[in-house]
Amino acid sequence: MDLPKIWSQVPADYFSSGVKTNFLQRIWHGGKLKAVAESVGGKKADVLVEVGSADGSFVNSLSKRIKLNKIIAIDPYLPPLAFGKKIHRNIVFIQADAHRLPLRNSSVDLITILETLEHVIDPFGTLIELKRILKGSGSIIVEIDSGSWLFQVIWFFWKKFGKGRVWNRAHLTFFNVELLEGLFKKAGLKVEEKKMFNWGMGVCYRLRF
């Protein structure tokens, strides 16, 4: 599987420009931002690590809603990171694989992995790696599509006719709520909070161990 070729289908500024210019993306990301910010809630975090950050535009928006001293954005693909460095000076960007994060054991108190688990080769291994770097009192925020019938219908047409055509072959695993929660349990992670959003098409979890 040629992952860099799949990643290269997505323009480096896809998220930052899409939210500004595409009505459907603006609706989706608005609901997503609200759900993620509410899931973080009053959890105190000196450092937030976002895994699968792309250009950092989402975590930058999130940082305006919650107080953070440091943001680390991690993605395996260099072009969006390079683009993000130019526009988000408040974020530390690191090129790295989600399966092998360059961070110490038990060093992070808040991790976000948003619409990313479906794109990694080994979702279970990725969760175990996130658990490795998480402090005992920390939280992981996982956000992803719910796999609902409504999402599947819209996703089919989005990939076929809309700006979503760049996501062709990008979903390596197709999840639904039942599969996700089974994976969390297998990884030794407990669901502390669960939020459905965007008419049930998206789901956001706060996890701990």
pLDDT at position 178, please?
Answer: 97
| 91-95: strand order across its sheet | 91-95, 70-75, 47-51, 108-114, 134-145, 202-208, 190-197
pLDDT at 31: 97
Domain of 14 in residue numbering reads as: 3-208
What does the pLDDT look like over 140-152, one tens digit per residue? 999 999 999 999 9
**Do the strands 91-95 and 70-75 form a parallel or antiparallel pair, or are they unpaired?**
parallel
CA distance 124 to 52: 15
The parts of the chain modelled with pLDDT lower than 50 are none
Tell me what pLDDT residue 60 has. 95
Domains in the chain, number:
1
- CA-wise closest residue to 60 among 45, 50, 75, 46: 50
Residue 204, domain CATH: 3.40.50.150
pLDDT of residue 176: 96
**pLDDT per residue over 186-205, tens digit each?**
999 999 999 999 999 999 99
